[in-house]
Amino acid sequence: MWSHSHWQQSLYGTGCKTGERLARYAETFDTVEGNTTFYATPAITTVRKWHDATPDDFRFTFKLPSAITHQNQLMHCDQLLADFLTVMSPLEEKIGLWKIQLPAHFGPQALPALEKFLQKLPARFTCGVEVRHPAFFAKGQEETALNRLLVDNKANRIIMDSRPVFAALPTSEAVIDAHQKKPRVPVHAIATAENPMIRFIGHPDDPSNDAFFANWLKRLPAWLENGKQPYLFIHTPDNNHAPELAVRLYAQLQQQMSGSLRLPAHKLPPQAEANPQFDLL
C-alpha cells in the first residue's frame, strides 16, 4: 500500500494531496506491494497514472485477482488473466513480481493446476507464489514437490514471517485482528528463483522486531552476494508505523553489510528526518 492517512505527517508531509502520495512514497522507497488488484482490477487510466507517478527504477508487486487464485483456483481462467494483464500492461516494465497468493485449502492435490498455470505465463514475467496449506510447511514430500515445481518454473516462493505479530500480546484491536487474519506458518527461507520475497508482519513495538530480523540480516546479504534481488515488505498490525519499521530494518541491514556489499543510502523525506517517529535505533 502507499495511501495511508496516518503517514501524512511522517512520510508525505502536510501539503501532500491524496493523489500525490504514490509519487511522494516513491521518493523514499523503491518498491511497493499492491493488494488492491486482489479485490478489483483498476481502470487502465489509473494504471497509467501509477506509471507516471514513479521513476523508471521503481518496482510494483501486484496480486493477481482473487477470481483467478481463489474462485477459479488457477483453472479455466485464461480470459480473466488476459484481461487483467491487458489493463496492467502500462506498468509491465515496472513490475517486480506478479504475486500468486493461494488459499489455505489449495493443497498438494492442486499442484498440477499450479504447474499448468505457471507454464502459461509469459517467460518474461517474474512471479512469486504464496502458499498457506499446512502440508507445504511440513518438510515432507509435499513441500519438496512444491519447491521443485517452483524451481523448475523459475517461480519465487513468497516467505511469510508472522512471528513478530504473534509474539505481541492481543491487547489492541489491531493486534487481535491480525491474530485472526494473518497466517501463522513456519518461516521457510528458501530461494527457489532469483527474487525471493519476504512479507514481514511486525510487532507493534518497533524495538521488539530486532530479534526477529536477526536471521534476515544474515540471509539477505547472502542472497545479494549470490546475485539475487530479494524483496522485503514490512507490515504492522495497523500499518501506522510500517514506514518507520522499514527504515529501522534497512538501517540495520546497511550496518550489517558495511564492508561486504554496499547498499544505497536510504532516502528519507525532509519531514521524516526531523520527526521522532523515524528514530532508527
Radius of gyration of the chain (CA): 19
Cα–Cα distances in Å, from 65 out to 4, 131, 162, 204, 248?
A: 22, 15, 23, 29, 32
Question: The pTM is what?
Answer: 0.90
Q: What is the residue whose three cell numbers read 544505497? A: 264
Cα–Cα distances in Å, from 110 out to 8, 63, 144?
A: 43, 19, 14
Residue type, 92: E
Residue type, 163: R
The pLDDT of residue 277 is 45
The answer to whether residue 3 scores a pLDDT higher than 80 is yes
The answer to whether residue 265 scores a pLDDT higher than 50 is yes
Q: pLDDT tens digit string along 150-163? A: 999 999 999 999 99
Q: pLDDT tens digit string along 221-244? A: 999 999 999 999 999 999 998 999
Hey, which residues does 97 pair with through a beta bridge?
Answer: 61
Top pLDDT among 1 and 63 is at 63
Q: Which whole number is the average pLDDT over 85-99?
A: 97
Top pLDDT among 58 and 274 is at 58
* Sequence-separated (6 or more) residues with CB below 8 Å from residue 265: 254
